[in-house]
Amino acid sequence: MEMDQFTRLFESIFIGRMNLKNRIVFPAVGTRFAGITGEATQLDVDHYSARAMGGAGLIIIPWVQVDTKLGRKVGRHRIDSDEYIRGMHDIIEAVHLNDSKIAIQLSRSIGKGSLRLIRKAKGIS
């Protein structure tokens, strides 16, 4: 295969009002780099910055927990409290320095037995 077959891959594209520099997306790949309480770490900043430097137009942070009342997963990022804003901001700034965009995959942090946990939390038998 010749590279000229993939020229559109390197063209910019709009998703709504957001302009991506190219059509390369780094998908939500779990790293478990988040700190013990779910805060972003310097390892996260370096990791996502490297993906942006590598040329990805859009980078997706996986399994960002928005509600931990029914449990949480260690190693996954959280945004259920203002204390997590600073770390996420650092990741975003590092990615934006390389002209890439960033998105998050939201998670409620429930998995196996989640229906049972929801029923218990709501008082449903």
pLDDT for 63-75, tens place per residue? Answer: 999 888 777 778 8
Domain limits, the chain: 18-122
Mean pLDDT of the chain: 88
Classify residue 27 by burial, with Cβ atoms within 10 Å: 0-12, 13-18, 19+: exposed
Q: How many Å apart are CA 124 and CA 7, to the nearest integer?
A: 55
Instruction: Give the pLDDT of residue 112.
Output: 55
pLDDT tens digits for range 18-59: 999 999 999 999 899 999 999 999 999 999 999 999 999 999
Instruction: Give the pLDDT of residue 116.
Output: 60
pTM (predicted TM-score) = 0.82
Instruction: Give the pLDDT of residue 117.
Output: 58
Q: Which residue has the tokens 């990791």?
A: 47
Alpha-carbon separation of residue 121 from 24, 63, 72 (angstroms): 41, 22, 15
Instruction: Give the pLDDT of residue 14.
Output: 97
Instruction: Indicate the CATH number of 18-122 among 3.30.70, 3.30.56, 3.30.750, 1.10.3470.
Output: 3.30.750
Least Cα distance to 90 among 30, 47, 36 occurs for 47
| CA angle, residues 27, 111, 26, in degrees to nearest 5 | 5
